[in-house]
Structure 1
Amino acid sequence: MPTETGRDGARAPRSPLTERRKAETRRTIARAACELFAERGAAGTTAEEIAAAAGVGLRTFYRYFRYKEDAVEPVLAEGANRWLDLVAAGPPGLPDAGALEAVAVRALAPDDAEGVEAMERTGGLLRAAAGDPALEAVWARVNLGAERRLAAALTGLAPDADPLRIRTLAAGAATAIRVAIEQWSAAPDGPTHGPGSPSDLVTATMRTLTGGSPGTAGR
């Protein structure tokens, strides 16, 4: 458990409330950064403006993020974490491509207002990131982290599976999702459901990797 220093200098566990508050502050800053970047671009936005929009001081901003572009990482990671949680909750054994496809479709087809808003926020941010090396680097970092966490989740489900197969399956699935989201975000008015939506596109990208068959990768 994370710790903090008490008055006597001893290291005491941080309370769950403290951790939740920190996570919420981080999320608030991240959402403010996403909205400003989508509207003005990263080059047209300062850390001071992000902090003001989030209702925090500049010192607080830099307590959480080293650079202004880093502030969007929590928002970008939210979608990846949702998908990874669904994978990890699956039945024991290495899932095949069909199972991974079904989970990806579920994760990329939000059925509530908050999920739709999060998807649209990601789309706007990725459009702002196009041609911006710093934001593209954050996006690449998020996707690499997701790939590694997916490999760890698959290992947990199938500890005896061939590590090379797991790494290859994780890399392919993570790439298919990334490409689907990027393709969708390139269209400003891309739908969140139905043809052309992220869930529709991820079906196409997943099946492209497996030659059109949804159930072969894990065999």
Structure 2
Amino acid sequence: MDVAGSTALVTGANRGIGRAFVDELLARGASRVYAAARRPELVEVTDPRVTPLHLDLLDERSIEAAAAAAPDVTLLVNNAGIATGAGLLTGDLAEVRRDLETHLFGTLRVIRAFVPALTAGGGAIVNLLSVLSWAATPQGSGSYSVAKAAEWNMTNGVRVELAGRKVLVQGVHLGAADTDMMAGSDAPKIAPADVARASLDGVRDDLIEVLADDPSRFVKAALAGDPAQLYG
């Protein structure tokens, strides 16, 4: 798919990776970018091609309204998310459900709302996933990891259901990115702009999976071996 001339919608577009996607889409010649966020007033508009749009993954009516307001979308970037930090054994189950409602069901609702536009003339769906789709860590990420694993296989399932309808469905995996969500982590972090570039290069090349950094490449390779190398 050629990003130039496309009409894109990016969720969670007010900061971090979402903001980087907006900038990269504009740099590659997108004709319009809907910058969707729970608080669209926080979206910084520096280009007339950017249209702020209200969209909350936990509010189905807002998703339906966004789809009605943006019927011309050809490239959908599902970036919005949360990290409750809930543990699986002692954490609040309501927070575990909130992670799942956001990453799995919220993202799926967005996809379902925009599929009619995307299939009308061919398009692309990009889902921002995580290295934690494939591995759990002890740093309070149990709930997030479960939600991202579910979103990963939902991405695969959507791809299968859209087979033959000229829609690329891409999953993007990364470790830590230099965003507000990861501000308290001292792990090596990839720049949000690098994530956006890697993903959109993959859209150009029809790649269904993008491994944006070394941690994602290491964990993906390790899945074929003894899981003790991840949990030993």
Q: Taking structure 1 as the reference length, what is the TM-score of the superposition?
A: 0.35
Structure with greater helix percent? 1
Rg larger in 1 or in 2?
A: 1
Tell me: higher relative CO, structure 1 or 2? Use CA pairs within 8 A at least 6 residues apart.
1
Q: Taking structure 2 as the reference length, what is the TM-score of the superposition?
A: 0.34
Structure with greater strand percent? 2
